């Protein structure tokens, strides 16, 4: 299993998939599963797309939109819904699935870390704001 280290946190890449219209990286932190979805062809000129999810660039300079960050809980995928609390080294992250909400304490800047993992896996770059 491929690993990525950010500061003192280790993330394990479980699966990477790259189709024409959807890219996916599924990774593990602690005992929790996450996945990030990207889609080529993001709207030009925007530094972030829907729900504040970032845009990254392919090696050819084409925009790639981060379309979802998800967390697996009891065999159901919950979508990233924002940060609900801040600590010194961790944040409380809110996830939603329909009307259900879950709160998970994760390392600070978890969304940025997930994007960085996807960038490393696919050879992408962060788009300058």
pTM score over 0.75:
yes
- Residue 20 located in a structural domain: yes
In a domain, 49, yes or no: yes
Would 98 be classed as within a structural domain? no
pLDDT in tens, 9-36: 999 999 999 988 899 999 999 999 999 9
* Whole-angstrom distance, CA of residue 70 vs CA of residue 79: 5
Q: Is 112 helix (H, G, I), strand (E, B) or coil?
A: helix
Residue 2 pairs with which residues in a beta bridge? 13
Distance, CA of 40 to CA of 25 (rounded, Å):
14
Residues 82-97 have pLDDT tens digits of 999 887 888 999 999 9
Print the domain residue range for 66. 2-77+111-126
- Per the structure, the count of domains in the chain is 1
Residue 122 lies in a domain: yes
Q: With contact defined as beta carbons under 8 Å apart, do 49 and 67 qualify?
A: yes
Whether 120 maps to a domain, the answer reads yes
Q: Determine the pLDDT at residue 45.
A: 46
Give pLDDT, residue 42: 63
Mean per-residue pLDDT of the chain:
88
Report yes or no on 91 lying in a domain.
no
CB 70 within 8 A of CB 61: no
Q: Is 23 a member of any domain?
A: yes
């Amino acid at each position: 299993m491929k690993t990525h280290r950010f500061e003192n946190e280790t993330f394990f890449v479980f699966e990477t998939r790259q189709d024409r219209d959807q890219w996916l990286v599924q990774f593990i932190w602690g005992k929790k599963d996450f996945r990030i979805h990207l889609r080529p062809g993001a709207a030009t000129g925007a530094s972030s797309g829907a729900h504040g999810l970032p845009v990254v660039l392919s090696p050819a300079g084409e925009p790639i939109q981060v379309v979802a960050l998800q967390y697996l809980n009891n065999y159901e995928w919950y979508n990233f819904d924002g940060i609900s609390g801040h600590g010194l080294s961790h944040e409380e992250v809110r996830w939603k699935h329909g009307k259900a909400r879950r709160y998970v304490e994760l390392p600070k800047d978890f969304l940025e870390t997930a994007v960085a993992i996807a960038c490393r896996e696919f050879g992408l770059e962060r788009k300058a704001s």
